[in-house]
Structure 1
């Protein structure tokens, strides 16, 4: 695995869980962040260095890579215009590849997305595929030992999936839902983090692409209903869910895009859901990494409304103070 890992996007949802795993293994981790106050839970962790940096700046990237044996790229966006997707999903991987080539750091594990395809119906899916192509070309050129991971929707304590659906049902008497029959194969964030660790530990995973999916397929309607039930909304019955026709769903998404902040849903999200977000069966999955994926039906009831995942790192903070 190496003695020092650079985790881009380490202050995010998946990054928190990955760092927890790496802490247990005694690995030194560097987490760059534009704003140090964006990740206060990282400051006191042993073997974690939080470095102010702009990873979109090639000079910053080059300096960050020095002294590391591997890089994990978790940076992604779900919303934005074509330019935003291009910057994050295509240009940033290109800069990472160039910085790796210049610094001599070859090992890269990159989180892509299930459904990434050059002809995908959404900008998100197409830009993810373009980013993969950039990195795969760098691997062909010999600059990278690359592993690609394509997760389905990721759930876990503190997520913006089940907890979001549960929170909405605490506020509203019914849930109007676009693309209610879209199908997903949700994967637990701890399984995704474990997959990242396994890839870092095993160099034979270089050159391979893995689909990270749980063992169950759920429709969006079923996910929303289950979140409300597990959160105890209406005595465990959840709120009524009203599936919206396609045109009305797009109108709803457009209205959400006009609200301040990150939208709950965008038209590009709806475009993504035109393709089932389930394993193709053509690529290896979690089982090939020695991981038995947890079923959402077993884990979901324990995580809806649970404490923030950073709380699990308190033991490491305490040990750092000894």
Structure 2
């Protein structure tokens, strides 16, 4: 059956906007559940998209949201939790474990069977960080329902693209500091383009071969964090001295200080996540996966030479042109 109505939970975020746009272009009616409707103003102009202000952690509200829906996409995730504890804090628990549990329960109650769930590369109940442990527990909750529901799980590496909070964050910091101390500089990543992630989510919805499957989503090339920061510096036209703080005390001191900021670019838990390389062995790639190179996209939104074209490029990339 062709799925025509999709509930997008976490749709007001970076990845959610791309998925909503992708689904809208395909004529799918999208309901975006959000705590704050103002966060989704940029999506109002998309045809077939409706924003609903609701507390998604309210079990009964979830059941009501799912009435008339054919599928659910869950993208909810947080990178920081001030309530740090073992195995993970209350914020991580609520976003990554309790919400998936409530979504599965609401789907069973409302009769919606199709779920596409966003996890994370290296997510595991015994993972290196609170983030990875909570993501792993949430993935286990979803996995336990695979016999009853039609579920696909995606596990991306770090996601880049226009509007990202990764390369853009480094670009802003590099413009401010002539000397750039970097914790976890040797950590390895396989960055994946947000447009490719959105396409995989959208393509999988009606593909029965993806039911009950878990896929890694990674880009075509592995980089160290230092290489990514150096490349970002090159794109923004800033010559910077990068000081490798390693993975020990100095790195954790830096992360702890940054964690005190209102919108922290780094936390000690993020550093612990980087103890495990965010790369794929290729054994669990999405079928037909042909990821876009970082070098094909990053210059369109980071390079000063491209700033005059950045909005047009963003629309073209999102439209798949």
Partner deviation per Cα, 1:139-168 (whole Å, 9 max, x = no partner): 23x1x1110000000000011111111111
Matched positions, count: 305
Instruction: Return the offset for 1:201.
Output: 2.5
Q: State the partner residue of 1:158.
A: 163
The within-5 A match list for 1:118-133 is 118-133=125-140
TM-score, normalising length: structure 1 = 0.91
User: Which residue of the other structure, out of 248, 251, 258, is the alignment partner of 1:249?
Assistant: 251
Query: Compared with structure 1, are the counterparts of its residues 302 and 8 closer, same or farther at alpha carbon in structure 2 (3 Å cutoff)?
Result: same
Please say if residues 184 and 217 of structure 1, whose CA atoms lie closer than 8 Å, have aligned partners that are also in contact.
yes
Please say if residues 17 and 309 of structure 1, whose CA atoms lie closer than 8 Å, have aligned partners that are also in contact.
no
Please say if residues 11 and 31 of structure 1, whose CA atoms lie closer than 8 Å, have aligned partners that are also in contact.
yes
State the distance in 2 between where 1:133 and 1:177 align.
33
- Secondary structure of 2:145 counterpart: helix
The answer to whether residue 97 in structure 2 is matched with residue 90 in structure 1 is yes
Q: State the partner residue of 1:147.
A: 152
Instruction: Return the offset for 1:282.
Output: 3.2
The within-5 A match list for 1:297-308 is 297-304=295-302, 307=310
- Secondary structure of 1:49 counterpart: strand
State the distance in 2 between where 1:241 and 1:311 align.
30
Q: State the partner residue of 2:86.
A: none
Instruction: Return the offset for 1:225.
Output: 0.6
- Secondary structure of 1:10 counterpart: coil
State the distance in 1 between where 2:61 and 2:42 align.
23
Name which structure has the greater RCO, CA cutoff 8 Å, separation 6+: 1
Over aligned residues, Cα RMSD in angstroms?
1.9
Instruction: Return the offset for 1:215.
Output: 0.6
Partner deviation per Cα, 1:51-102 (whole Å, 9 max, x = no partner): 1111110111011000010000000001103111111100000000000000
State the distance in 1 between where 2:252 and 2:241 align.
20
The answer to whether residue 186 in structure 2 is matched with residue 181 in structure 1 is yes
State the distance in 2 between where 1:303 and 1:113 align.
25
Please say if residues 162 and 314 of structure 2, whose CA atoms lie closer than 8 Å, have aligned partners that are also in contact.
no
State the distance in 1 between where 2:312 and 2:93 align.
30
Q: State the partner residue of 1:217.
A: 222
TM-score, normalising length: structure 2 = 0.91
Please say if residues 150 and 212 of structure 2, whose CA atoms lie closer than 8 Å, have aligned partners that are also in contact.
yes
Instruction: Return the offset for 1:13.
Output: 0.3
Gap regions ≥5 residues in structure 1: 317-322
